[in-house]
Amino acid sequence: MKMYCEWLETLEPRDTLSLYFHIPYCQKLCWFCGCHTKIVNHYEPILNYLDFLEREVELVARHVTSTVQHVHFGGGSPTILKPDDFLRFMDLVRQCFTINPDAEIAVEMDPRNVDEKKIAVYAQTGVTRASLGVQDFNPRVQKAINRVQSYTLVRRVVETLRAKGINALNLDLIYGLPFQTLKSITETIEQTLSLEPSRISLFGYAHVPWMKKHQKLVPEEALPDSEQRRYMYEYAASILKDAGYIAIGLDHFAQPHDDLVLSTNNKTLQRNFQGYTTDTAKALIGMGVSAISSMPQGYVQNTTSGIDYAQIIKEGDLPLSRGIVLTEEDKLRRDIIMALMCTMEAPLDSTSYSKEMALLKPYIETGDVSYEDGMLKVHPSARNRLRMIASIFDSYLSTADHRYSCAS
Ligand SMILES: C[S@@+](CC[C@H](N)C(=O)[O-])C[C@H]1O[C@@H](n2cnc3c(N)ncnc32)[C@H](O)[C@@H]1O
Ligand code: SF4
């Protein structure tokens, strides 16, 4: 903890910062969910959690003088917070940190628990971006993943957000879900396009029931196989491209005027724990259960246990459970992975990475990857295998993590 506080204190007032707040609660369990969340029937645990999160904000802020350029609420479902509580929390964040007037403030939203009152508070507190979980519009698919929400509902939320001035919209879709077909995914994408979001995420369903036990409720026999998944991704990507969206990295698509396209073109695109971003902040401070912070010197993660989280904060300490100091070698690998994930290419001295070059051989043989004049390039047709390819350079990935990264 002492080291992390020192890291925070070495950030200067002119450095920019990102803040991430994790709200690990949902009202209903989606069987496909891979996020760190808990289902609650009462509001009391959420209110208690918010109190501890506020204490953590105060504890962290004591060590920070930099200005904030990005704020991200993720989960779980941040939209589970009542409007007055969100308002109170944002007031405290603004008291504790200096937030730039043009900062991006983004909230991951479950359309099923957003209403006009909440959206009015988001607008009032300066929220600029909404990321809506859509997943799939097909009723059979929705039933099989326990995530039933109509197109009409999502449309109403999108219209209300726009009416209140929140125009930067991202819609999350997933391919590889049970009972999805090329026809059903085409219909879902057409319905999504009719809402004209500036960004669309198209995640591959990560089926990891050995890590997320509730995924056993997903009917495995109805899951598309790897070849069908590949067709689905390619087909979906081609519809999005025909509609004028530009493919960004592994799983994002954006309208040509969107900042993500701009930062892709000028090679400043970044990928953090929340996905692709235009955020070039020097440090990302994660707060809340399980949240990860990324600093120039390394990473730290908060405890994943809600009980420990509350106890440690009660004692006046930061609720960290693990951390890692990056070596020079780690930083080189981090840069290679970031370059591959964001630009699909990375300069590489093959003699320093002979083990990785051997693992890349099958990809080079199929043409998914090329290596020429010291440049490693991933072919556009292998975009949905970017994570697997980049993970070859991650020396910390365990066998289990490799299984996860291959499943997604
Ligand atoms: C925290 S949720 C978004 C907010 C809100 N909880 C919701 O579901 O609407 C983040 C996104 O992660 C994606 N996701 C969750 N579990 C996944 C999985 N197993 N595989 C792929 N994507 C997943 C979903 O697209 C989801 O919208
Ligand atoms: S997908 Fe979103 S709403 Fe569903 S359980 Fe996961 S975090 Fe909660």
What's the mean pLDDT when you consider all of the chain?
94
Confidence of residue 63 (pLDDT cuts 50, 70, 90): very high
CATH of the domain at 369: 1.10.10.920
Q: Are 180 and 138 in contact (CB under 8 A)?
A: yes
Does 319 fall in a domain?
Answer: no
Atom of ligand 2 nearest to the CA of 76: 7
With a 6 A CB cut-off, is 108 part of the ligand 2 pocket? no
pLDDT at 281 over 90: no
CATH of the domain at 122: 3.80.30.20
With a 6 A CB cut-off, is 145 part of the ligand 2 pocket? no
Does 289 fall in a domain?
Answer: no
Cα(173) to centroid of ligand 1, in Å? 9
Atom of ligand 2 nearest to the CA of 75: 7
HSE-CB for 203 with a 13 A CA cutoff: 22
At 391, list the tokens: 């993970």
Please tell me the residue having the least CA distance from ligand 1 atom 6: 77
Cα(173) to centroid of ligand 2, in Å? 13
Give yes or no: residues 176 and 261 share one domain: yes
The pTM for the full model equals: 0.94
pLDDT at 408: 40
Give yes or no: residues 233 and 367 share one domain: no
Give yes or no: residues 267 and 340 share one domain: no
Lowest mean pLDDT among 163-167, 235-239, 267-271: 267-271
Cα(76) to centroid of ligand 2, in Å? 6
3-state SS, residue 32: coil
DSSP bridge pairs for 379 = none
Give yes or no: residues 257 and 335 share one domain: no
With a 6 A CB cut-off, is 292 part of the ligand 2 pocket? no
pLDDT at 188: 98
With a 6 A CB cut-off, is 77 part of the ligand 1 pocket? yes
Question: Model confidence over 48-57: pLDDT tens digits?
Answer: 999 999 999 9
pLDDT at 401 over 80: no
Confidence of residue 399 (pLDDT cuts 50, 70, 90): very low
Residue 123 belongs to what H/E stretch?
A: helix 116-124
pLDDT at 398: 52
Does 318 fall in a domain?
Answer: no
Judged by phi (left if over 0) then psi (alpha if -120 to 50, else beta), residue 176 lies in left
With a 6 A CB cut-off, is 24 part of the ligand 1 pocket? no
CA distance linking residue 42 with residue 44, whole number of Å: 6
With a 6 A CB cut-off, is 286 part of the ligand 2 pocket? no
Q: Are 105 and 146 in contact (CB under 8 A)?
A: no
Give Cα 18 distance to the centre of its chain: 14
Cα(22) to centroid of ligand 1, in Å? 14
Mean pLDDT for 334-346 is: 93
With a 6 A CB cut-off, is 288 part of the ligand 2 pocket? no
CA distance linking residue 60 with residue 317, whole number of Å: 10
pLDDT at 78 over 80: yes
Range of the domain at 403: 327-408
Q: What are phi and psi of 143, to 5 degrees?
A: -65, -40
Which of 277, 308, 335 is the last residue in one of the domains? 277
With a 6 A CB cut-off, is 177 part of the ligand 1 pocket? no
